[in-house]
Amino acid sequence: MKKSTIVLSVLLLLAVGYTAWRLGANSSITGAATTESKYDAFAKCLTEKGVVMYGAYWCPHCQNQKKMFGSSWEYVDYVECSLPNKAGQTEICKEKGIEGYPTWDIHGEFHSGELSFEKLAELTGCVLP
């Protein structure tokens, strides 16, 4: 076989393998998004009603809240209160008087701690799926 034929064959195999890999990755991503996106409307409703969660990147309770929403978290208004390396609190959180995380601002009232979907729905009037 000529050297050019071998090179073309290898390139073709790489292209086919890459295409198959990307198709497999896209289908698994799409499958995950459809199962986690059931809270999109709920998260958007919270934001439309002006609900904000104040938190810190290092806070395990904040991480739990984010995990509850799955991919729908992107629709929730979130304010990061911690400075890098836990070096204090951002000015906005100081001004708001945020003392613990997470803190939810719902209709101007602050609610500290992890809130269930049911509690968030009760406090906001947003409908759960």
Instruction: Give domain status of residue 31, yes or no.
Output: no
Q: Which amino acid is at 87?
A: A
Q: Are 52 and 105 in contact (CB under 8 A)?
A: yes
User: Is position 7 within any domain?
Assistant: no
pLDDT in tens, the chain (129 residues): 676 666 555 445 544 444 455 555 444 444 444 444 889 999 999 999 999 999 999 999 999 999 999 999 999 999 999 999 888 999 999 999 999 999 999 999 999 999 999 999 999 999 998
Q: How many domains does the chain have?
A: 1
Domain coverage including residue 64? 38-124
Whichever domain contains 66, its CATH number is 3.40.30.10
Residue 29 lies in a domain: no
Distance CA 35, CA 20 (A): 23
For the whole model, what pTM was predicted?
A: 0.70
Asked whether the beta carbons of 90 and 33 are under 8 A apart, the reply is no
Residue 44 belongs to a domain: yes
Kindly state whether residue 129 falls inside one of the protein's structural domains. no
Whether 50 maps to a domain, the answer reads: yes
